[in-house]
Structure 1
């Protein structure tokens, strides 16, 4: 495809730009026009410029558009760097902490990358939701599953409703829709931290360490473990004995 459209290749565009800078081609005005055309014809610029520089503030379900709309222009470069760094800054600590759970590390990184996309859409939630059933041990320990499901369904209903009130009916403003996007961000954060905490507790149990018995995420009322959770036998016996002693 690039051979059929050589003007879309970045290296020829860069070489032409260098030649114009040293004065090997046309006048300065023509140079500026051609530089603008060739810069915007480069496929890399067209693909990565918009999400990196956030030039379009079209409302979406993400957290970026309203935040940068209300921001002073002088602070945009700094916060662009901060927001973009969120997608990668947690990769190393999560990989070190859960080095024996590569699937969970990949899921967390996918979740964070989708959550902090500049132009997030509902389709961005599909990948991590499709992989969520693979985390069977963590899901068996979740006791707030009904809360997560009901709250997510509620957000799915309120999001289009607030959009309709703002854009179509003009009976509300952008704050109504952005409040739903904020709640969606809070929902994603609570889900992520809950699963990370459960995974850390599972690792502690698998390592045979003493658990905090007051945490009900991993222990049933009788002190037994969630079904299907493979743990060390001595650790399970110690946990049951400790709970009987407290009783």
Structure 2
């Protein structure tokens, strides 16, 4: 009887898996058609010119101009035009001229590739999470209804795929030809390699991300923790760090033309760290340093960059050392909020990972507030930009107020998720209805 039941369950799971795969392919097809339809319309150039989509570090126009200068043997790093590495420019050129031959197609394929990598990675992660909570008898009775169901992995993976492909932030970034969309492909490759236990893939993808955008270098810590906790392998953790450093060195050697020219360092990493270009964007740096007295600038540059990189790294790594994927998502959120030149694609990527934590949603308290703030700030940003720059009926304070609300919404969201994770871990041990001295106890964030 039990053999027949297990066989039937296996058949049901196989049918469910095939159905999920068909849904994923259908979603990818619809997303591709949607992107291509808008890209070939008059709205593409409008979207591409918005500062929320293209920053000095993610503008395709700058990449095209820099590539042209390279072809004429002119160093594009002599001025303040190009902020991409030589390897990135070479990669874009090869992809565009020898693989895709169409810039729209290139951005669409990389965007869809990002979605599929996240789909495959999340499917495995959610299945392992589901298996970890399979024995419901180990947990308190009042928690069991919140535990993942049998189709948890299939549902979550589809939600993540939909969350990325049809997320307005990711969609606008792809349509506007923001190179951050291609960077996100390697970031998703890093997550894919980490969850599947591939040291080479994860460390290589992270090295590519770190050499282009610098901030992802902090993700080496959750990567090594993941291999230790999930794969019980200190060897993999050490190899990941060694491979990461090795790939960093090799990429830097190539970028410097084998040690002959390091002019790119100032334009790429110097621009990210010292923030010389104060063109308005949806970040927090530009307005602050526009108003800053020059003799205070260095102090606050250090303060802002430390806040983005190492300030939260150690305490979060200690607190969430047993859930390294949660730690990874939290650090991605912090990078999206506090990096010097953020764009919509940054938020679109991390928002698409939230369905992984659908089991935490009942404990989240700020979802409605965050949603409202994001909708209002995202809608008002282009309006206030037009009023400020074109109509001259507003000023920089209006636009910065919107970007400040945009950042606050993200801060509320990440703290809400982390606190819900803490409550989830507590509930699995002690239950949700806990008595303290005979009275109902309440877990709150003080």
Q: Which residue of 1 aligns with 2:19?
A: none
How far 1:238 sits from its partner (Å)? 4.6
Looking at structure 2, the residues matched to 7 and 111 of structure 1 have their Cα atoms a distance apart, in angstroms, of 29
- Structure 1 pair 76–144 and aligned structure 2 pair: CA distance change class (3 A): closer
Give 1:86's aligned residue: 307
**SS of 2:345 mapped into structure 1:** helix
Could you say which residue in structure 1 is the equivalent of 2:357?
135
- Give the Å deviation of 1:145: 2.6
Contact map agreement 2:308 2:338 (CA 8 A) in 1: yes
Whole-Å separation in 2 of the counterparts to 1:97 and 1:7: 37
Q: 1:52 to 1:143 in 2, by over 3 A?
A: closer
Mapping 1:72-221, distance limit 5 Å: 72-88=293-309, 89-208=311-430
Deviation per residue, 1:150-174 (Å, 9 max, x gap): 2211111111111110011111111
Aligned residues: 189
Shift of residue 134, structure 1, vs aligned partner = 0.9
State whether residues 373 and 406 of structure 2, in contact with CA within 8 Å, keep that contact through their aligned partners in structure 1: no
* RMSD of equivalent CA atoms: 2.6
Residue 22 (structure 1) aligns with: none
**Alignment check: 8 A CA contact 1:9 1:43 kept:** no
Distance 1:84 1:236, change over 3 A: closer
Q: Quick one: distance in 1 between partners of 2:433 and 2:364?
A: 22
Higher relative contact order (CA 8 A, sep 6+): 2
- Structure with greater helix percent: 2
Aligned to 1:52: 273
* Contiguous gaps of at least 5 residues in structure 1: 14-38, 209-234
| Structure-2 change in CA distance of 1:171 and 1:124 (3 Å) | same
User: Does 1:61 find its partner at 2:309?
Assistant: no
8 Å contact 2:360–2:421 — kept in the other structure?
yes
Q: Distance between the aligned counterparts of 1:11 and 1:123, measured in 2? A: 33
**Per-residue displacement from partner, 1:63-87 (whole Å, max 9, x unpaired)?**
1001001111111111111111112
Deviation at 1:142, TM superposition (A): 2.3
> Could you tell me the TM-score, scaled by structure 1's length?
0.69
Q: 1:237 to 1:7 in 2, by over 3 A?
A: closer
Partner of 1:70: 291
| Residue pair 1:10, 1:44 contacting (<8 A) in 2 also | no
